[in-house]
Structure 1
Amino acid sequence: MAVQRNTSGARTARGAGTGANGPSGGPARNDRSGKPRKRKISKKQQAIYRRRRIVAGTVSLLIIALIVFCVYSLGRGIGAVNTMIHHDEVYAISRDATPAPKKVSNVKDCSASDVTLQLSAASQSVPVGGSLDFTATIVHEGSGNCLVDGSDSGRVLTITSGQETIYKSDVCPADSRLLLMAKGDKDVQKVTWNTNANATLTECTDESGWAKVNAGTYVAQLSLKDHPKVKSDPVTFTVG
């Protein structure tokens, strides 16, 4: 290879290439990072992966729900067993904790001078085995407020025949019906007698087993159980 010197003193090679990686030294290599290429996943495989994830998530939720249910059921079961074991103690405490009712009112009970009784019958006669309605009235005639029991046990209807007592409305006890009465107040109630006899009973029994009275003349009258001297006028009627 001939070398000639140019005017600048630099040598120039003729016929030589620019180097191993130059344009005349063969094809140049592409610049590579060395990282592996990403594998392409088909749509079918993607769908399979999605289904697997959905199934796995569903199974996980079912397992969690089952665990929660088991824990809840176990807690309820333990509570129920504990309640059965300590049933008597629990209800004894509840009964003891309930305070007894207290009388908070200073209103007095009605005396014999505070009230009067009135009685009337719907009819002058009733057939044997029938029923007769009475109107029972309590009238307050005192000056101050007072309490009176207006139940069939407190305001008693008595049926007599001659000197014999046939029927009394207080043979079977009734719930107390306390009335707060002021001057001029009236309590009006309907009382039905089914033409039966109960005065000989020593305790309350079912009314269907009471004997029916015979035909005859009878007298009805009201009285206060707490004040037997407070009575209505007698009402005479016939059964027949």
Structure 2
Amino acid sequence: MAKRRISAKQRRIYRRRRIVAAVLAVVAVVLCWGIVWLLVKGVGAVNYAINKDDINAISRQAAPSPKEVSGVKNCTANDLDLDLSASSATLSLGGSVKFTATIKHHGSASCLIDGSDASRVLTITSGNETIWHSDSCPANSRMLLMTGNDKDIQTLTWNANSTGEQCQQDSALPNVERGTYVAKLSLKGDDKVQSDPVSVVVQ
């Protein structure tokens, strides 16, 4: 059987068809890979969105809490002495007396103390009853770095009145009765840091 002769024109047509088929095959492969890649990325994005809260929660739990880096301790009875003195041992009914409150450092290392009236507290008592105390009203903290032989000296005034449970202006507080009252300076939070008592008589 004689072979069919193919003209040069037909050979060129077949060659072009094979080239086009090869190009289409390459394009199909690329498209398939592109679709697979998009599907993988899409699934990953969905999973990330679903688990985002869990990841954030784990991150928050794993975060270490901040630590104090100052290295300066709070003052204790081993570091401080409190001294208290009165401008007068007697006062008239409805009068006032000034107290000098002194914080003295004697420790071997520096320490911090809140020297405000809300922390270094002046208390007036009569028998077992508390009559007046300097921390009845809020006060801004006054942090002091005590070292060596440092001293902090403040003046506090008692207007011979009686404070209640709520913060009030001194002018709204009732006057105390005649009698003997005892003043003492103390550090809130550490009962061991106290001054010697000072007696005043309201006449």
- Partners of 1:177 and 1:150 lie apart in 2 by 5
Say which of 77, 85, 94 aligns to 1:112. Answer: 77
Say which of 168, 172, 196 aligns to 2:137. Answer: 172
Q: Deviations over 1:82-120 (max 9, x none)?
A: xxxxxxxxxxxxxxxxxxxx9662211112211010000
Identity %: 57
Could you say which structure has the larger radius of gyration? 1
What is residue 202 of structure 1 aligned with on the other side? 165
Correspondence 1:219 to 2:185 = no
1:109-188 map, 5 Å: 109-188=74-153
Which amino acid in 2 is paired with 1:228?
D
Give the TM-score normalised by structure 1.
0.55
1:1-240 map, 5 Å: 105-198=70-163, 201-240=164-203
Q: Which has the higher contact order (CA 8 A, sep 6+)?
A: 2
Aligned residue-pair number: 137
- Partners of 1:104 and 1:194 lie apart in 2 by 43
Q: CA deviation at 1:166?
A: 0.5
Which amino acid in 2 is paired with 1:208?
S
What is residue 81 of structure 1 aligned with on the other side? none
- Partners of 1:228 and 1:171 lie apart in 2 by 18
Question: In 1, are the aligned partners of 2:159 and 2:170 still within 8 Å (CA)?
Answer: no
> What is the SS of the residue equivalent to 1:208?
helix
Q: CA deviation at 1:160?
A: 0.8
* Cα RMSD (Å): 1.4
The structure with the greater share of residues assigned to helix is 2
Q: Deviations over 1:158-205 (max 9, x none)?
A: 10111211011101111101100002111111111111101xx23212
Structure 1 unaligned blocks of 5 or more: 1-101
> What is the SS of the residue equivalent to 1:211?
coil
Question: In 1, are the aligned partners of 2:184 and 2:196 still within 8 Å (CA)?
Answer: yes
Runs of 4+ in 1 over 4 A off after TM superposition: none
Which amino acid in 2 is paired with 1:153?
A
- Partners of 1:178 and 1:236 lie apart in 2 by 29
Q: CA deviation at 1:226?
A: 2.1
